[in-house]
Amino acid sequence: MVSNTRLVRRLIIICIAMFAFGYALVPLYDVFCEITGINGKTSNQPAVTRAAVDETRTIKVEFLANRDDAIPWSFAPEVAHISIHPGQVQVINFMVENPTDMAMVGRAVPSVSPGEAAKYFIKIECFCFTEQPLDAHERRAMPVQFYVDPKLPAHFSTITLSYRLYKNIPQLVGR
Amino acid sequence: MKHCPSSLRFVRYLLIVVFFSFAQQLFALEAKYNMTSGVTDISGQVYNLHMIIFYICCAIAAIVFGLMFWSILHHRKSKGAAPAQFHGSLKIEIIWTAIPVLILIAMAIPASKTLIAMEDTSEADLTVLITGSQWKWHYKYLEYPIEFYSLLATPREAINNQAEKTDLYLRDVDKPLVLPTGKKIRFLVTADDVIHSWWVPAFAVKKDANPGFINETWTKVDKPGIYRGQCAELCGKDHAFMPIVVDVRSPEDFDQWVAQELERQAQEKAAELARGNLTMDELMSLGQKTYETHCAACHQISGEGLPGVIPALKGSIMATTDIPAHIQIVVNGKAGTAMQAFAKQLTNSELAAVITYERNAWGNNTGELVQAADIAAVKAGE
Amino acid sequence: MSRENISSHQQHADHSHDSHDHKPRGISRWLFTTNHKDIGTLYLLFSLLMLFTGGILAMMIRAELFQPGLQFVDPHFFNQLTTVHGLVMVFGAVMPAFVGLANWMIPLMIGAPDMALPRMNNWSFWILPFAFTILLSTFFMEGGAPAAGWTFYAPLSTTYSSDSTAFFVFSVHLMGISSIMGAMNVIVTIFNLRAPGMTWMKLPLFVWTWLITAFLLIAVMPVLAGVVTMVLTDKYFGTSFFDAAGGGDPVMFQHIFWFFGHPEVYIMILPAFGIVSSIIPTFARKPLFGYESMVIATASIALLSFIVWAHHMFTTGMPVAAELFFMYATMLIAVPTGVKVFNWVATMWRGAMTFEVPMMFALAFIVLFTIGGLSGLMLAIVPADFQYHDTYFVVAHFHYVLVTGAVFGIISGVYYWIPKWTGVMYSEKIGQLHFWCSIISVNMLFFPMHFVGLAGMPRRIPDYALQFADMNAFISIGGFLFGLSQLIFVWMVVRCMRGKGEKATDRVWEGAQGLEWEVPSPAPYHTFQTPPQVK
């Protein structure tokens, strides 16, 4: 038999471990999302791999841009949608303009739909990886360079890439 | 069949009549108190699944409760029952573990099939971006330059029991989402502020609108008609007051609607440009109308807000002193609060009118006028 | 089965303690008590108080929903009512009631002189009144009480909430600490203070279910503490766990919350299984059918509860594979739950039943909990869940498992053990009146909710379309009647506490088995100071 004190000590350790586990769910969730594509989360790291172009298939890629109320910029994709072959590398510009008299910093959060297609949507370069500072009245094109992985399951024919632009908030937690 | 006497035949006839009138009542009740079978292939499948599982559950309940009540009736001490002393039987326990497993597998197979069909959004003909915000829906057609907000059409007076409630109480909007029949329509769902959920029971479509992320779902409606739903996820104070109306029309009627809508937009734009400065009276009447549809839900008709939740406008510093700051907050909203940016929801004249109204109603009598040009200036960042 | 037999020598030894059965007097007895019976009483009375507090909130909700239109409260206040009703009932009424029963009964059932950690026991109770004072005081703050639902989904509970959030988070922390301490006490008591001969497979089922519940509490309450802390730091300290703007995700809140939330659901029902498993054999005068499989079923329900959380969030946009997994896992829970129900029915089978109030409530528990379980099975079917989710069908489901499940379980336990606690029999007439009033009104209250839900009425709305009006009026009437019926329960409890009624015998019930029935009624202040020998 274990003494009361030692038993209580073990139970407290379980409690602390479970509290920590609650926080560990945060990074675990990100991993889980990347594997399963919950919320169409995509990797926020530039990809380095390339794939062979599969000319037998055509995928329609749609672009959406919207913004939070806190950042009064105009923000829109250059084209509403394109058709590409899997493996074909493409650059699309998103036009952004700061109509105010103040310099501001924005950050775009990407979301890909359908969620399960997210991991086949490979971004080589994206303005969403970094903060985007804009001077007063500055207008700029923000490029995203990507390709669709030829391993994309056959039942997907359309992929939507959506960005939501937020006013950058200083990070206290490194996520 | 044997010849039966007329009296018997009469009874049989009576029984049939009674049965059918009863059945009719049942159908009426079913329409009112059961899940709808809806108007799409998927919603029909969902309804069938629901009914099958419901009947299986009823059967399980009937068997378990039947045995239990048999036991309650017969194995009671007052009837002189002597208690048996058995307390286990491996065979029986294995049986009643195994049988439910088989029933569950039988349930899971059709459920999985329907689910996989529901989640297949590929090969859509038309895509609509649905954005929820506190407390209205916004629809944007990706194939056409059409987008609009859809707001509750029920007047505040009806909600506050000061006016008659109509049949469409809380179920009607000012501008419904219009869709064509026979086309696969893909919905992209997102939100501006908190989580909402877009639900139309007749399509068996319910999808959460998560701020910052997009979800997708689809439907294909073959029957024209008007279908109603509402927000299904608690999204704050007026969660109950953001209904959804979908007006499904034949493809020809839909094309016609698109043409009309584009025409209307062009006219509105021209009118907005042609409109010069308005008088105080014009601003106040347009302002009051705009205020009551877009602002009164939070700031209240009386302009007094809700203490601690929604600031008052009556006598507030914002609405009585600094005009540019006032325009700024109405146009761009205040981040992280229920105060949205109205720039994309209202025209410049409506914005000017509502700001003028707020500065002159409820004894805020500043006497100041705000014109559409002032709004345009703020939007341009001047 | 001879597991509960004690030597007669032991009984005599126990009676001899009656003479030095002195306890402190006055308020300090209750403030500083470390006696498991006193603390059990405190927990139970506190939970009764909270049942009525949450009940009054529910009555206000039902009054507003009696008719379409806004009559009594504004929508923001309505959301506060539903939120605090949920929190008070879950953390204030059901959970403390179970801890109270555990305090009273576990030492008596396993032949222990007291709980293993008496001072911690006192502390874990006295935290609760503070926690709930803080929570309820937010009603009087500017901006009102928390209004994001008891599930407080972000960002409604973070960016868009009023400043009562800080108070809410603090009170949840206190409730969590209290539950964790209570659970530790239960575990240590069961591990270390079992009487000689009380082996694991001789433990009464109430003890077993509580042991498993205690482990669930220890595993998930810290996760709740974590998630409310994230809410707090998101709102006030600039983190963005749940804010997309800073790289977070509001859906992650739901994953973490329900990782706590689903086991929490079983925390609220497993001890009720234990109570019913004690009552049915007593009144059927027949040993419990399938003791071992009951223990295994309880443990498997507890384990499965960790892998089904996402069935609360099928509409949030999950990959098909995840939806299928959570659907299958959830359906699987029906198997051990079914085993339990079948075992209870088999226990009754060929027994010699009598139908005193505890048995009546236990029978009502089996029937109505099974209805709640079957609607739970329907909810597990993902395509159908898209239609059921966030409607009154869900409200009906969880009120069947929590009110006619958990609360009826507690009530039947109170009727079953109150003669042991107070030394007098409750009035059978009052009890039967309470039972029949409750059973009729509770079904008037919750059964029609299935139908309005199926017809498309969402939950958490203060006002609804006209087609739901007649049913809602009926539901509200059922609600008021159910609320009033519980006053009869209070009447019964007060009568017993004042010692009015027939003197109870030591065994109380003819068919009662177990150590708790070997001590006198009322149970003396100190029991089993020399451990009994269980054969």
On whether residue C533 sits in a domain, the answer given is no
Cα–Cα distance measured from residue B80 to residue C441, given in angstroms and rounded to the nearest whole number = 33
pLDDT number for residue A44: 67
CA angle C504, C509, C511 (to 5 degrees): 160
Contact residues, chain B, for C383 at CB < 8 Å: 42, 45-46, 49, 111, 114-115, 118, 204
Count of positions (residues) in chain C? 535
Cα–Cα distance measured from residue C287 to residue A127, given in angstroms and rounded to the nearest whole number = 70
Which of C278, C287, C211 has its CA nearest to residue C417?
C278
Q: Is the peptide bond before A114 cis (omega within 30 degrees of 0)?
A: yes
pLDDT number for residue B302: 84
Please measure the distance between the N-terminal and C-terminal CA atoms of chain B and give it in whole angstroms.
Answer: 94
Q: What is the DSSP string of C386-451?
A: HHHTTBHHHHHHHHHHIIIIIIHHHHHHHHHHHHHHHSBPPPHHHHHHHHHHHHHHHHHHHHHHHH
Please name the residue that has the structure tokens 């959460």.
B208
Contact residues, chain A, for B333 at CB < 8 Å: 69-70
Please name the residue that has the structure tokens 């006016």.
B163
Taking 60 as the threshold, does the pLDDT of residue A173 lie above it?
Answer: no
Cα–Cα distance measured from residue B84 to residue C350, given in angstroms and rounded to the nearest whole number = 6
Indicate the SS3 state at residue B298. Answer: helix
On whether residue C70 sits in a domain, the answer given is yes
A38, closest residue in chain C (CA to CA): C318
Please name the residue that has the structure tokens 């279908």.
B227
pLDDT number for residue A38: 67
CATH number at residue C130: 1.20.210.10
Average pLDDT, chain A: 83
Q: How many CB pairs below 8 A link A and B? A: 73
Half-sphere exposure in the Cβ direction for B142 (13 Å, CA): 26
Exactly one of C30, C123, C126, C150 is catalytic; which is it?
C150
Q: Are C316 and C252 in contact (CB under 8 A)?
A: no
Please measure the distance between the N-terminal and C-terminal CA atoms of chain A and give it in whole angstroms.
Answer: 44
On whether residue C524 sits in a domain, the answer given is no
Which of C298, C111, C93, C127 has its CA nearest to residue C211?
C298
pLDDT number for residue B276: 72
Determine the distance in angstroms separating the CA of C446 from the nearest CA of chain A, rounded to an integer: 34
pLDDT number for residue C535: 75
On whether residue C360 sits in a domain, the answer given is yes
Residue C137 a catalytic site member: no
Domain boundaries, position C199: 8-18+27-517
pLDDT number for residue B301: 83
Residue A108's DSSP bridge partners are A165
Please name the residue that has the structure tokens 């405190």.
C42
Exactly one of C53, C138, C330, C337 is catalytic; which is it?
C337
Q: Judge whether B52 is closer than 8 Å to chain C, CB to CB.
A: no
On whether residue C1 sits in a domain, the answer given is no
On whether residue C189 sits in a domain, the answer given is yes
Which of the residues in chain C have pLDDT under 70?
1-22
Exactly one of C3, C17, C37, C85 is catalytic; which is it?
C85
Indicate the SS3 state at residue A124. Answer: strand
On whether residue C397 sits in a domain, the answer given is yes
At A73, phi and psi to the nearest 5? Answer: -90, 160
pLDDT number for residue C342: 95
pLDDT number for residue A117: 85
Q: In the predicted model, what is the mean pLDDT of residues A67-77? A: 85
Which of the residues in chain B have pLDDT under 70?
1-8, 19, 21-24, 26-28, 336, 381-382
Indicate the SS3 state at residue B134. Answer: coil
Contact residues, chain C, for B116 at CB < 8 Å: 320
Q: Counting Cβ atoms within 10 Å, is residue C529 exposed (0-12), middle (13-18) or buried (19+)?
A: middle
| Single-letter amino acid code for the residue at A75 | F
Q: Judge whether A110 is closer than 8 Å to chain B, CB to CB.
A: no
Q: Is this prediction's ipTM beyond 0.85?
A: yes
Please name the residue that has the structure tokens 């992320």.
B213
Name the pLDDT band for A29 (thresholds 50, 70, 90). Answer: confident
At C284, phi and psi to the nearest 5? Answer: -90, -5
C376, closest residue in chain B (CA to CA): B57
pTM for the model stands at 0.90
Cα–Cα distance measured from residue C127 to residue C123, given in angstroms and rounded to the nearest whole number = 6
Q: In the predicted model, what is the mean pLDDT of residues A159-167? A: 88
pLDDT number for residue B2: 46
Residues 6+ apart with CB under 8 A from B70: none
Best B51, B67, B208, B216 member to test C by mutation, with max C CBs in 10 Å, is: B208
Indicate the SS3 state at residue C125. Answer: helix
Domain count across chain C = 1
At A105, phi and psi to the nearest 5? Answer: -120, 130
On whether residue C523 sits in a domain, the answer given is no
